Structure 1
Amino acid sequence: MERFAGVLFLLGAFTLAGTSVIAGRFVVATLGTFTITVVSLFFALLGLLPLCGRKLGQSIWQMAQRDWASLFIQALFGIFLFRMFLLQGLLHTSAGEAGILTGATPATTVLLAWMLLKEPLDRIRFLGIISTVTGIVVLQGLFSPDIVFSTEHLIGNVLVLCAAMCESVFNVLSRFSSVKSALRSAQVLDPIVQTTLVVIIALLLCLGPALTEHPAAALLSLSIVGWAALVWYGLFVTALAFILWYAGIKRCDAAVAAAFSGMMPFTAMILSVLLLNEQPGWQQWLGGLLVVLGMVLTGLKVRSPKRQESCCI
């Protein structure tokens, strides 16, 4: 039952995370990267703080120095760097293609989990990594000489890939922190409290860079659609998605989380067609199919002949 609940939490988290590409597209041409992040995190806190109540103060009082270090790294990679690379990438590439490229997250997560957490990397998961890499190469037009992307477009794609790698680091570090807390019988933070603390840390990290973007004038000129995108980015892409993520990663290993991170490119691709009227070519669809195949393969459960492993802590 715990494993099933973890799967549902992860599914919801990454489906919401996939909408970040679309929400960012509505505001990235008007607002600076860090301004978008700060305002969306502010809206996230407005939704999170009433849910925390007294638990926030009690948890802060009981946290050790290593817990703060772990939360800082999660905020750095999961929000600050991820959004910086993603939003900068969206200035140079399409939302649909950016969404597909976030599908590199499962492969890089599995590799990091294998190296850092000693989670198994069998033949099927290795094939999943190969499929993901091939899909990304196809997206770049390397197999079709008649399709040439501009340097700016390629730079945008590289920035989105950097965002995917940051997401992978965040996934593995979150799982590592959860496992370590369980092993030393330490207090496991409530998902809402953990999300709130990570959001506060990320907000502090982004505040200085946001002020250099002179955000006041841009915010005053923002349309209703832009403000709605920021509210969605804060309350759903940040607050709710992170709560679901922390609830799920406490119950499942990093490889299972890697599989569901493939919902990000799938959601972004579909919404880019429905909401932004983007029309991906055959190369984008083929590359996306290979990335999705890689997602499925890397997420398959590895079972040892000697013992059956469980993804639950």
Structure 2
Amino acid sequence: MTSHPPILAALAAALLFGASTPFAKQLAGDISPILLAGLLYLGSGIGLWVVRLIRDRGFAAPDLPAREWPWLLGAIASGGVLGPLLLMVGLTHTSAADASLLLNLEAVLTAVLAWVVFRENADRRIVLGMLLIVAGGLLLAWSQHGGTVQSSALGSFAVAGACLCWAVDNNLTRKVSATDAVFIAGTKGLVAGITNCTLALALGVTLPAWPRMAEAMSVGLAGYGVSLVLFVLALRGLGSARTGAYFSTAPFIGAVVAIAVFQEPTSAAFWLAAVLMGVGVWLHLTERHEHLHTHEPLEHVHRHVHDEHHRHEHAFAWDGVEPHSHPHRHAPITHRHPHFPDVHHQHSH
């Protein structure tokens, strides 16, 4: 199952986001953190919407069923509005070092919500792999910032609250991940960008020169925009917990880029974190989850080919081109094959 495309999408999302971090740090000296976050998100939102308009040759209504709009709006409110606001509150009452440690909570909380609230399947192998990946991220963040603690209780709770908001965002986004990933990522980027930029301007932050703004927005398009599109595609095929675990390798990827491009020194902690994350990813990559399961009737819209899960008739003249997208209904089926908790496998065990 290591060649499963959603796994590659999750790792590519982590690669782009992790690689963008060292470049964003180079901009942090010239742009305030709040405004920088806004420009990164805004670049992703504007860029993806331009891509969508070009791709669809104009505005096209999203193929999101009415019953799924509350999930998307909840994800945007949680991850695009409340999360950034809580993080900004947290950063004013805690050090950047402590905040980077606390941000590892996002993967843990994403998995806990997926397993406990949304009943996503996980066995001990997956749980152990996630814990090893998160442990590697904690070790890397701790070593990079000297392991000092300079946080108030308010700051710590605010950053933890931001992580909870993003964990909720990840799980709610999974509910709508079957729809157009560019629309989801672009809309979330616009909302988060406008929120952070408005907050920065309200606090009296001045805009930098246009070349620096353009540079920040370009980094955001790749590291936040394209990365989020890939993240949504991974959610579609892997579920929240597994996608979050793979994405947690982003800090390590960022450290590798910083070492390779900016000649930052390595340490024993870096190599230990690499081993922990490597073992954790290996446990996930070698997962084989297979049992007899039954698909309940399901109706939704997404791009698909006519595989064993998509054997339906068409109420329109089909030209035979695949993949294609249209509302379709899944009839009940019972079979056995290796699978992940994707949009077609959300059954109980």
Q: Distance in 2 between matches of 1:139 and 1:46?
A: 33
| Maintained 8 Å contact 1:122/1:302 | no
Q: Give, as a single letter, the amino acid of the residue that structure 2 aligns with 1:42.
A: L
Task: Within 5 Å, give how 1:138-177 maps onto structure 2.
Answer: 138=139, 149-152=147-150, 167-177=166-176
Among 208, 211, 219, the residue aligned to 2:208: 219
- State the Cα RMSD in Å: 4.2
In the alignment, which residue of structure 1 is the partner of 2:219? 233
In the alignment, which residue of structure 2 is the partner of 1:92? 96
Among 234, 252, 260, the residue aligned to 1:266: 252
Q: Distance in 1 between matches of 2:113 and 2:119?
A: 9
Task: Within 5 Å, give how 1:285-300 maps onto structure 2.
Answer: 285-297=271-283, 300=286
Q: Distance in 2 between matches of 1:83 and 1:267?
A: 26
Aligned to 2:208, what secondary structure does the other structure show? Answer: helix
Higher relative contact order (CA 8 A, sep 6+): 1
Give the deviation of 1:107 after TM superposition. 4.4
Q: Distance in 2 between matches of 1:148 and 1:245?
A: 31
In the alignment, which residue of structure 2 is the partner of 1:29? 29
In the alignment, which residue of structure 1 is the partner of 2:110? 109
Give the deviation of 1:257 after TM superposition. 1.5
Q: Distance in 2 between matches of 1:130 and 1:212?
A: 39
Percent identity between matched residues is: 18
| Maintained 8 Å contact 1:112/1:168 | yes
1:288–1:77 CA distance, 2 compared to 1 (3 A): farther
Q: Distance in 2 between matches of 1:293 and 1:105?
A: 20
Q: Distance in 1 between matches of 2:284 and 2:108?
A: 7
Q: Give, as a single letter, the amino acid of the residue that structure 2 aligns with 1:59.
A: A
Give the deviation of 1:124 after TM superposition. 1.7
Flag structure 1 segments of 5+ consecutive residues without an equivalent: 179-187
In the alignment, which residue of structure 1 is the partner of 2:121? 120
Q: Deviations over 1:69-96 (max 9, x none)?
A: 43333334545526974994997339xx
Give the deviation of 1:192 after TM superposition. 1.7
In the alignment, which residue of structure 1 is the partner of 2:66? 64
Flag structure 2 segments of 5+ consecutive residues without an equivalent: 293-335, 345-349
Q: Which has the higher strand share?
A: 2
Q: Deviations over 1:212-248 (max 9, x none)?
A: 23333x513x8x6x54650333221122122222233
Q: Give, as a single letter, the amino acid of the residue that structure 2 aligns with 1:128.
A: G
Aligned to 1:268, what secondary structure does the other structure show? Answer: helix
1:83–1:56 CA distance, 2 compared to 1 (3 A): farther
Q: Distance in 2 between matches of 1:292 and 1:162?
A: 28
Aligned to 2:96, what secondary structure does the other structure show? Answer: coil
Q: Deviations over 1:178-226 (max 9, x none)?
A: 3xxxxxxxxx53222222222222233324312123333x513x8x6x5
Q: Deviations over 1:107-127 (max 9, x none)?
A: 443332211222223222232
Larger CA deviation: 298-307 vs 21-30: 298-307
1:108–1:215 CA distance, 2 compared to 1 (3 A): same
| Maintained 8 Å contact 1:43/1:235 | yes
In the alignment, which residue of structure 2 is the partner of 1:181? none
Aligned to 1:59, what secondary structure does the other structure show? Answer: coil
Give the deviation of 1:61 after TM superposition. 9.5
1:284–1:163 CA distance, 2 compared to 1 (3 A): farther
Q: Give, as a single letter, the amino acid of the residue that structure 2 aligns with 1:113.
A: A
1:157–1:18 CA distance, 2 compared to 1 (3 A): farther
- Please report the TM-score for the alignment, with normalisation by the length of structure 1: 0.71
Q: Distance in 2 between matches of 1:274 and 1:162?
A: 34
Q: Give, as a single letter, the amino acid of the residue that structure 1 aligns with 2:187.
A: L
Q: Distance in 2 between matches of 1:309 and 1:48?
A: 34
1:92–1:246 CA distance, 2 compared to 1 (3 A): closer
Q: Distance in 2 between matches of 1:110 and 1:292?
A: 19
1:132–1:47 CA distance, 2 compared to 1 (3 A): closer
- Please report the TM-score for the alignment, with normalisation by the length of structure 2: 0.65
Q: Distance in 1 between matches of 2:158 and 2:236?
A: 29
1:93–1:109 CA distance, 2 compared to 1 (3 A): same
Q: Distance in 2 between matches of 1:62 and 1:141?
A: 42
Q: Give, as a single letter, the amino acid of the residue that structure 1 aligns with 2:49.
A: L
Give the deviation of 1:279 after TM superposition. 2.3
Q: Distance in 1 between matches of 2:191 and 2:243?
A: 24
Give the deviation of 1:103 after TM superposition. 6.1
Q: Give, as a single letter, the amino acid of the residue that structure 1 aligns with 2:269.
A: Q
Q: Distance in 2 between matches of 1:154 and 1:282?
A: 30
